Every structure is written in structure tokens, then in C-alpha cells.
Structure 1
């Protein structure tokens, strides 16, 4: 079984029991509320062809089966079926689940990778690294965002005009980008403000011909205009991205998967461009593939899911006595400067080597990056041989839902003090 995703308020969960079958379950009370079972064949492709869960663990919503996005708990669902060849993978059906009928069908020049929507906008990411923005009320196309075109515009603006050979090489990479492990990510805020955040390409300093997806563009999808550009949030590619319900915060994790950062998007009037980093958490010391980040409705909790045996939940309201230093940021520089001044005082006073060693252990250690990163405030132990998806229900702020590819749906209670979540209910997707 393949767990696709929860809807925006975690009132429903979408699962696929087979390549041709999609079911939508209501979470409370638990039960199936919609079933799509299509065994027909198109273009000579078997519906079960290339549906390999194990190969898609790092990108759970992008596979050769279904890509589905619900509109909260309404009957409107967007469905793209990649299991029956590229021609079907380019079509997006807008379905009314109550009438079990197709409202409209949209066709695109390349296969669909991801779909996100709220009550105002729908955004479709294609494997050509293009994002189509639609007015969901009338399904009118509003804008096409080309990530590669925007990258080259930025290069020209910075007087880094790409050569003809480089453009040709980029075009070739773009056409074959589906084979690359790292792909652009996008997320849309759940409110009517419709803040779209997506990763963007940028050339590395050491090699202009090499690219990283470690920048994030903040885009106003409601008014179809860019808002902010956040440079180099991580050293490596961003593998997972989430935006808060109000669009004010984004959470990111790199392909290393050890550090999670929460950054202000800059859409509010109190935004401080010199200090965009608000929280920084350490998931663990060993690298892993993090394939889901999700905020709760009130932006007080952040959950992350990867290919490890633990689902982590971080508290966004708690603060450390030591603060949360930004690696390479203002706090770290101030701390380092302060330590440098004190070091000069110690050396200049002719103190003994023992006193100097004591100073180094007590003061300089504090300026090491990531020394004070906070750990999770709650966690859930899981088995590593299954895929998982989490959701925070709006009606029950002290609970978290976990759907698993082993066919189970579990409800956990989040503890009031740091520790392991308590299992309160288990159901089965049957």
C-alpha cells in the first residue's frame, strides 16, 4: 500500500492500495469516503507498470502511480495518473468525489510531478521544472513560473551571462531532470493569502557549471508576484519544504537530513531581512532522507518524517537559555568577536597555560556551529521498512495522525513534557 498524503487540515487521508486504485479515508470518525478504481489500460501501458514504492521513498508524492491533492474536506480533488504512460501523466483531472464525476481536465506539455492547492489557487509542478498557477474558482491559468529561465535571468542580472554551450547543457539536463535524485520542491499556504514557496537553482561558488537547489523563492500566488528570495538556506540541496498555514514561515531540510531550519518568508510587516532564521533544530547526527515536513495549524509544532525509525516533532514556541544561533550568522559572529576580545585580555595579562586552556574549553567551544541546536520535544518510534505520512488535526491540537504503508492509521497523543507520544487509537485501511 502507498500512503500519498493528508489533506490541508488532516481531516482526510489519501492512500493507494494498488496502481489502479485510490481511496480517501475520513480521519474522525475513521472510514472510507471515496474510492477510485480504474483498471482500464491506455497507450498500451499496464496500470501496474513501474509502480515501485521502494525506489520512491525519498519522494513519496512523486511516483508512477497517482498524484492527488484534496481541497481540505470538500469534494474537490485533483488527480494525475502517472501509472499509464507519459500521456496520462500530463493530464490533471479535477474530480467531484460526491458525484464521482470529472469537472474538467487540464493538459500540460510535460508530466506532472506535484500538485498543491487551497481555496484560491492551484499550483502544478512539472518535470520540466515549471510551475503553473491557476485560479481555482474558474480553472483559469494565471502564470507559468520557469525555474531555469528565472535562474538565467538572475545570472544575467549578476553579470554572469551563460555561454551558449552552458545553456545547451542546462536544456539537456532539464529534459532529463526526472532521472536526477534532487528535484524542485514547492509548498502553498493553506489560507487565502496563497503564499507559494519553491526551491530555486543557483550556481555553486566553486563550480559555475554545477547547480544546487538550496535557494527558496517566496511568491504571492494570489497577486501573481514574487515577494522574497532566500539565498543558501542550506549548504546542500533542499530535499523537503513546508510552509505554515498563514505563509509567514517555511521549514526546510537538506539532502543530508541532519539539520532543520525554520525561516521567515518576509510576507509580514515585521520581517527583519538581517535575521530571517527563527529556529534551527538537530534531527540527528546520521544523514537520512527526510521526505516530509509539516506545521500544525497554529504554527506551534513542526513534524519531520524520514527513512529512520523515529518521527520527530519540534516545538516552535519554546526557547533555549542559550538562544538559537544561526550557523555563520549574526549571533555566532558576535559571540566569536566577544571571545576574541576576552582571549586578547587573557594572553595580554600573562596568564598561565592552564588558565588559557580553561578559557579555550569554556568560551571558544560555545562558538562552534550547531552547539546549541535543540532536539525534538516529542517523538514516535516506527519501523524503518515502511513509509509514513503525518498530519496535525485542527480539531485536536494535542494529537498527531500517522498513516503507514503497512495499512494502518494511528492516532497519537502529544505529551505535555518532552518524550514519546502515546498511542491512543489504531485503525486499518481495509
Structure 2
């Protein structure tokens, strides 16, 4: 069993009970409403799929629902690379395929709302469609955009991007992420490559591009939002907030996207939360409908819920990050090992930097949490109809409903069901 994702309003959940089977369940009342069986795998197609070329070997489907409508976009990777390059738009009530769209590379992710559909390919290209007529509006090439920004010669930039992409398709350690707002404004956020000035051949996915898919134009660029690669991204329903987490998984940040004209350009960081002090691989961030809560799911036993109702009282500007804190501690230890008193200047520097780090170490933590000691993967949904509840779908085939606590603490399990 693989719990794939909830739809945008958490009225339905998508699971994959077997490698070639995908099912959709209503959450309330709980029950299966759609099932697609790919049948037996075609050996000839399978031979076209090189080992390790899948975006996620555990996920044989890339699937996105359009809220609680009958429209579903599905890319079936279980049938080989040719099928993984083809996106089917399916009507679940009629159990018929409305249209198929083929792409030059395998599909990595799909996001959509009532206005736009955006497809991310393994080649780091984003295709933007008008969902009303399935017309292609724009293609964003992350590699070409990166090299054009850093190379004066457009031909050289295009060549370098193609060479780099051909290597990247076989090496998926770095994976761009994207998220699309649920409202009709259709604000898209996606991670972008950047290179340090002292090492132009090194690439980090730690920038975020805010893009207006209605008018096909970028709105904002958030540079170096983390020191490492961004592995998780989420956008609020209204497109005003974007949340990110890096490969360390210790700090969760929430930024103003700049989609509104009244935002402060120098104060984009809205919230900063500490998930924990130990590294963790995070694979889901999600806002509730009104952006009052942020859910965080990773490969630990604890699912975190952060409170967004009140902005942090103290600015995090000037606080030490983990690397700076470690450096200051090592300097303090070195001085003490020399058995000598540090000079007044050094003592003042250390005390100032360590003092400023106290706020960083005491960043706001979760308002609520869910602890599940089973070792399985989970996905989280905030049901719009029941704002006091949280849905959890797990790879062990369980669907659980939790109630949020009235004060800071653990959520209460109120209902449990099993995917058939």
C-alpha cells in the first residue's frame, strides 16, 4: 500500500494498493469511489526504463485530483517509460479518458486548480496549460533559465543546459519542487537552480520563483531561502504564503510570496519554526484552507502542526543558524582549552553571537503533534469542512481522523478505517 496524496480540500485521498492499481477514496463518508487497474506490465515497455530512472521507485503513479470533481490527471509509471511520459485526463464518474498529453521526458509531478494545470518533467521543465481547453501556454526550462542568467552567450547557455539536463535525468539526487495555489489567481511556486559565485559549476536548489500562471510572468524571486537544497514546498490556497524545508529538515520557513502589492519587499520571511534538532527527511508540507495551520510530515514518528494565527513577536534577523552556532561553540571551547582568558573583544563577540542564538534555538515549535509508532509513511490533509480535524493516510492501509487539541499538545485519535 502506498498513500499518495489528498486532493486540495482533503475530501478525497489517493492510494496505490499494488504496483499497477490506483484507488480514490472519499474521506467522509469513508469509501472507495474510483479504481484504475493498469493490468499486466508490458515487458517490451518495461525494458525501456533504465534502473534508477524513476522519480520515486515507490510511486508508480503521479496523480492529481481537481478538488472533489471527477477530473483526475494520471501518469502511470508502472507500464514503462513510454507510459510515464504520457498524462491522462480521466473522468472518474464515466471512467473514461478525456484526453492524453505526451511529453519528451518522464512526468515527475502534476499540480492543478480550476484555471491552470502545471506539469513538472524529470528533465526539469515545467509545462503550463489552460485547463479549460488543455492549451499549452508556456514552457519553463529551469536549466536554460539558470544558464541564461549566468551566461551572456545564449547559444552557450542552451548547449550547457542540454548537457547538464541529459546528465541530470539519470541522476535524480536533486529534484525541483512545485506548488500551485488553489484559488483562481493560480500562483505557482517552484524551486530554481543557483550557483555560488566562487563555484559556478556547483548547483543548489535553494531559490524559489513565484510565478503568475494567469498572466504568464514571474512575480518574485526568493533567493537562498535555505543553505541546502529545498526538498519540500507548499503554497497557501490564496497564493500569499509559501513554505519551504531543506534537506536538513530542522527548520521550516514561511515567506510572503509578494503576490499582493501591499507586501514589504524587505520583510518576506513571515514565520520560522523549529521541527527538531536532529536531521529528518521531510516529504510533505501543507497549509489548511485559511493558512492558519501548517502541517509537516517526514520520516520520523511525529507529525507536526504549526500555528500561523499569530506572527512571531521577535524578528529572526541576525540569529545564528546551526553552522554559525557550532562555529562559535568551537571557538569558545578552543579558548578554554588554551587555559587562558579570552580578550574582552573576543569575549564580547562570543557572548553577543551566542546570546543572539538563544532566540534561534527557541524558535516556535509545533502547536500540536501526532505520534504514530509504526515506521510507515504518511500523508496529511486538512479537511475544509471540519477545520478542527486532521486526516492521516498511511502506507499500512490505515485512514485516521484526529481532533486538534484546544491548547498545545497531542492530537486525539477519533476514528480509524482501513483501505480495502
TM range (shorter): 0.7 to 0.9
Q: Paired residue for 2:415?
A: 425
Contact 1:155 1:162 in 2 (8 A): no
Alignment partners' CA distance in 1, 2:93 and 2:64: 16
Output aligned runs, 1:143-292, within 5 Å.
143-156=138-151, 170-178=161-169, 179-292=171-284
Secondary structure of 1:83's aligned partner: helix
Cα offset, 1:155, TM superposition: 1.2
Contact 1:243 1:251 in 2 (8 A): yes
| Residue 142 (structure 1) aligned to one of 137, 144, 155 | 137
Contact 2:89 2:99 in 1 (8 A): yes
Alignment partners' CA distance in 2, 1:310 and 1:8: 23
TM-score by length of 2: 0.88
Alignment partners' CA distance in 1, 2:351 and 2:193: 41
Secondary structure of 2:149's aligned partner: helix
Q: 1:143 to 1:304 in 2, by over 3 A?
A: same
RMSD: 2.9
Q: 1:39 to 1:149 in 2, by over 3 A?
A: same
Secondary structure of 2:44's aligned partner: coil
Cα offset, 1:153, TM superposition: 2.0
Secondary structure of 1:44's aligned partner: helix
Q: 1:40 to 1:364 in 2, by over 3 A?
A: closer
Alignment partners' CA distance in 2, 1:288 and 1:89: 29
| Residue 356 (structure 2) aligned to one of 367, 379, 386 | 367
Output aligned runs, 1:69-80, within 5 Å.
69-80=64-75
Cα offset, 1:162, TM superposition: 9.1
Alignment partners' CA distance in 1, 2:312 and 2:263: 22
Alignment partners' CA distance in 1, 2:148 and 2:312: 41
Contact 1:217 1:226 in 2 (8 A): yes
Alignment partners' CA distance in 2, 1:110 and 1:254: 26
Secondary structure of 1:77's aligned partner: strand
Check if 1:412 corresponds to 2:402: yes
Alignment partners' CA distance in 1, 2:118 and 2:4: 17
| Residue 303 (structure 1) aligned to one of 295, 299, 317 | 295
Q: Which runs of 5+ in 1 are unaligned?
A: 330-352
TM-score by length of 1: 0.86
1:125-170 Cα distance to aligned partner (Å, 9 max, x none): 00110000000001111000111111122114xx6x6995x87565
Check if 1:326 corresponds to 2:317: yes
